[in-house]
Amino acid sequence: DSGVTQTPKHLITATGQRVTLRCSPRSGDLSVYWYQQSLDQGLQFLIQYYNGEERAKGNILERFSAQQFPDLHSELNLSSLELGDSALYFCASSVLGWGAYNEQFFGPGTRLTVL
Amino acid sequence: GQQLNQSPQSMFIQEGEDVSMNCTSSSIFNTWLWYKQDPGEGPVLLIALYKAGELTSNGRLTAQFGITRKDSFLNISASIPSDVGIYFCAGQLGRSQGNLIFGKGTKLSVKP
């Protein structure tokens, strides 16, 4: 158990809908990262938050957004869903978010299926 | 975007055999990490490497940070059935960047 929790474990929805994925980082970690894992693209970095502020953006679509709340949990919002958005979405956390020794610990993931 | 070339893509080995996999990049990395992912689970951190040339062990696992900082390898000695899974290398480009770039993974199958 990495200490990172994600809910829900599975999500099935229809095209055009909007969903919210939730992540709680390990105790003491200030940075949260979101990654998408698909069969063809592998694990791709989406976005990073540090202590409530957006710190880095990766290959995140404009239809996707995220935020980190004062209690440090984070939510990833996916809207206008398309079939191609079906994937595993992972949250990871680390103590800081940069520098050396920036080990990231991953949650169990949310499997999103868009029908 | 940046990519890590991880090889081999898959391996089928006999229990007790040693395994070796590696990652290469055209870019210099500041940190190399190796993860293992079981089906339906998140990646689990196995080994972290922070200095060029560093050799680190974790039980039967040994990993090295290449001297050029553009590659890393992971060895598993005396494989056992529970080693089955997908192994990913991941790199951090610079100290100011926190996000990881992942290889495509090596799928390991172990025959008892």
Query: In tens digits, what is the pLDDT along chain B, a chain of 112 residues?
Result: 567 999 999 999 999 999 999 999 999 998 999 999 998 899 999 999 999 999 999 999 999 999 999 999 999 999 999 999 999 999 988 777 778 899 999 999 999 8
What's the CA gap between A108 and A9, in Å, rounded?
Answer: 8
B87 contacts on A by Cβ (under 8 Å): none
CB atoms within 10 A of CB B34: 25
Model pLDDT for residues A21-76, shown as the tens digit of each residue: 999 999 999 999 999 999 877 899 999 999 999 999 998 999 999 999 999 999 99
B95 contacts on A by Cβ (under 8 Å): 98-100
CB atoms within 10 A of CB A28: 9
**Mean pLDDT, chain B, integer:** 93
- Nearest Cα of chain A lies from the Cα of B42 at a distance, in angstroms, of 4
What's the CA gap between A85 and B82, in Å, rounded?
Answer: 31
Q: Which pLDDT does position B78 carry in this prediction?
A: 97
Edge-to-edge strand list for the sheet holding A74-78: A5-7, A19-24, A74-78, A64-68
Which residues does A40 contact at the CB level (< 8 Å), separation at least 6? none
**Strand, coil or helix: what is A48?**
strand
Quick one: tokens of A86?
Answer: 């079906």
What's the CA gap between A106 and A46, in Å, rounded?
Answer: 14
Quick one: tokens of A5?
Answer: 């929790």
Q: Per the CB < 8 Å rule, is B45 touching A50?
A: no
B41 contacts on A by Cβ (under 8 Å): 108-109
The separation between CA A89 and the C-alpha centre of its own chain, rounded to angstroms, equals: 6
What's the CA gap between A57 and A47, in Å, rounded?
Answer: 4
Q: Which of A43, A48, A105 sits opposite B88 (nearest CB)?
A: A43
